[in-house]
Amino acid sequence: MKRLLALLFLYGLTAQSQEFDVEVTVRADQPNELVALIENAMNGTGSNNIKIIPGENGEKQMFITDDYVDSGHVFPDITKPLKISANEADDIQIILNSDNAITNKSHLKFYAFLVYADAILHLHHLTFKGFYSESGGGVIRAKGAALLYLISVTFINNFAAVEGGAIHLFENAILYAFHSRFLQNRSNGLGGAISIRGAAFAVVFLSTLANNIASPFGCDFNVSSNPVADAYALMLINSVVISSCANVLFENPLGKMFLMMNTFYGSGNLIDSTAKVYLFANIIKLITGSNVNSTEKAVCNDFGTNSIESLGFNISTESSCSLDQASDMANTDPLINSPDENYQIIPMNNSPVIDAGAFEIFTDELGKQTLPCSYKDSRGLGRPQDANGDGVFECDIGSVEVQGGANLTSAQTGMFYDMDRSGEGVMVEMLRNGTALVTMFTYAPNGNEQMWLIGVGKIVGNSIVVDELLKTTGGFFGPGFNPDNVTHESVGSLSLVFSECNSKTNPGRMTFQPNSQFENELDSMLVKSRRITNVVECDSLEQSNPMGGRSGLFHDPTRSGEGVFVQMINNNRALIIAYTYTIDGKHLWFISSDTLIEGNKITAEMIYPESLTSFGNQFNSAELDFKPWGTIKLEYQPECDSLTYSYNSVVEEYGSATYNYQRVTKTEGTTCDL
């Protein structure tokens, strides 16, 4: 099981990175212009980064009326990297046929994209509706070595005559779908939502499939693929599948499948498979259907091949899915509610799935750290949680984690750490509009460099969820610093979960999940988050220090990529952390050991780890040796939005300098005293 879970995260969690050109925009009322922009991108004369914005009169629907040069598909062939996106709030829809046109059989018969060769197609925050293929792939056909990378894409009411009502993958095509929805898509053949053939494979993560239909088999997926060694033809993770299927949801004659932390609900058989299928931490509540001969079948059918294997923590209303692990619960009602308006299926208060999953990070036989569940659930709530209040943060079975604590407030601003990992920590600054700035101060995996990782997260219930935690490179200390050389890349995702605001006697949990391209460098982490500082009191939502409005992140706009964090805490004290680079371009951060506050001035004695340790599982606080770095002085201007930052280092190569800093962030719940 451990090897399989490690492979899951190797293949599944982030597609390969891709650089795109400067963004160009096209309005939703300009479908022909979108075609022209794609054509230019493919022939190398235009940007490959296209954003669709609302029309002149606020139109959010782009109506398609013709195919591309009688090709049978709407847009030019995609043979090179291309990104088409929209702002999430704009709800841009690309529509071929209305529901009425399909009902009245007056519909157009075009699919949207043919993607092949070495193309990479990114689609973000778009809806595709009413597309129609007379062969495979109602919206997208991908072949060759094509890569599809979907973020928050909805496919609704699309149709394919042969297979793949929304998407058809064949040859060596790859699909990564995140936060996406496949709703009411249909196929007159196999794979009502997605069909996977040849040597193709797909990873579908934190997504929803609802009421897709296929005849004869595979209402949601047809999997008949033989990808590279040790790869899964399909991985479905942390997703919700709602079915009204008359046959089977997963038709799987060829190709390994991995189904992990999903919730299956409704009617239909779950799996018909003669290929290997692994089940881990799924909820299965399905009323079985029948095959075309009206012969009753079980929820899981392996036709005597013993191909379905449980890896534990599954729960099912019946017993056909080989649930033979001690942590499995066969013939058990999961006690879950009906789907809500967002297709989420929430456990009832007395559900046996709550706090019934895995709870510890473990190491596989290859030495790789693996999380017991993902960093968030299908609703976006951080996981794992402590729903029963016993102090143990356990994963719930299925796609949804039950919240175990009050919603976060502005009082969650603070510094947090694990007592067993003294010398690293996470700084949290609660911002307005339901967001928080999260910065992890730690060490590089090579053991010879400090490291900080930073990201803006959403506040979801009692958790902060950062989907993209960024690492910067390209900076140098002092006069050699050039902000134009500073680049950033996402290295993973993070969540912080708190059972209580104080988080001292009952610390929260921090979960870090590396992206696949960094999983050989960065370990997964699941550690405690114990509070060190408060800026706003938990019990009163008031500043514990009248100077709290001086808190925040500050930097020199001409030196973006380095700066200083300030947290004003009680008893006339402050916590200050500066982040920059060494003279040879490595990460450098130093932290205050003592501060003196006089009027609008703060003087801080700073320390840094002269000897270092490593990231994740190799962290050892005994290897750290903090030594004086020097002195920092901050002199605030009225309104607290700017300050003079000066330093005088006792470390010879850093010297002294003065910069004019501006506020980057304002801590929620604070006001300036100057």
pLDDT digits (tens, 9 = 90+) for 532-562: 999 999 987 766 689 999 999 999 999 999 9
Chain position carrying tokens 């597609």: 15
Q: Which structural domain range is residue 206 located in?
A: 2-279
490 with 577, same domain: the answer is no
Residue 198 maps to a domain: yes
Mean pLDDT of 282-301: 70
pLDDT of 517 above 90: no
Residue 400 maps to a domain: no
The last residue of one of the domains, among 259, 279, 299, is 279
Residue 335 maps to a domain: no
What string of DSSP letters covers 455-517?
EEEEEETTEEEEEEEEEEE---SGGG--GGG-EEEEEEEEEEE-SSSS-SSS-EEEEEEE-GG
Mean pLDDT of 85-97: 96
Residue 219's contacts (CB-CB under 8 Å, 6 or more residues apart) are 192, 193, 212, 213, 243, 245, 246, 247, 248, 249, 268
Mean pLDDT of 268-290: 89
Using omega within 30 degrees of 0 as the cis cutoff, is the peptide bond preceding 372 cis? no
485 with 524, same domain: the answer is yes
Residue 618 maps to a domain: yes
Residue 291 maps to a domain: no
Mean pLDDT rounded to a whole number for the chain: 92
515 with 656, same domain: the answer is no
What percentage of residues in the chain have a pLDDT greater than 90? 87
The last residue of one of the domains, among 279, 294, 312, is 279
Alpha carbon separation from 383 to 156, 387, 505, 522 (Å, rounded): 29, 11, 20, 19
CA distance 114 to 168: 10
- The reported pTM is 0.92
8 A C-beta contact, residue 379 and residue 315: no
527 with 553, same domain: the answer is no
449 with 419, same domain: the answer is yes
8 A C-beta contact, residue 137 and residue 160: yes
Task: Report the number of distinct structural domains present in the chain.
Answer: 3
Number of alpha carbons in the 13 Å side-chain half-sphere of residue 310:
22
17 with 149, same domain: the answer is yes
24 with 160, same domain: the answer is yes
218 with 98, same domain: the answer is yes
| pLDDT tens per residue, range 627-659 | 999 999 999 999 999 999 999 999 999 999 999
More confident residue, 153 or 519: 153
| pLDDT tens per residue, range 107-157 | 789 999 999 998 999 999 999 999 999 999 999 999 999 999 999 999 999
Confidence of residue 18 (pLDDT cuts 50, 70, 90): low
Residue 316 maps to a domain: no
8 A C-beta contact, residue 311 and residue 279: yes
CA 316 distance to own-chain centroid: 27
Alpha helices in 333-450 (DSSP H): none
Pairing relationship of beta strands 277-280 and 159-160 according to DSSP bridges = unpaired
Q: Identify which of 543, 509, 547, 512 has the alpha carbon closest to the alpha carbon of residue 527.
A: 509
What percentage of residues in the chain have a pLDDT greater than 70? 93
Give the CA angle between residues 191, 196, 199 to the nearest 5°. Answer: 165
pLDDT of residue 6: 40
525 with 551, same domain: the answer is no
pLDDT of 4 above 50: no
CATH number of the CATH domain containing 419? 2.40.160
558 with 499, same domain: the answer is no
| pLDDT tens per residue, range 159-189 | 999 999 999 999 999 999 999 999 999 999 9
CA distance 82 to 20: 8
For residue 216, give both structure tokens. Answer: 């004869």
Residue 646 maps to a domain: yes
465 with 590, same domain: the answer is no
218 with 69, same domain: the answer is yes
Mean pLDDT of 343-356: 97
Residue 195 maps to a domain: yes
Neighbours of 627 (CB within 10 A): 12
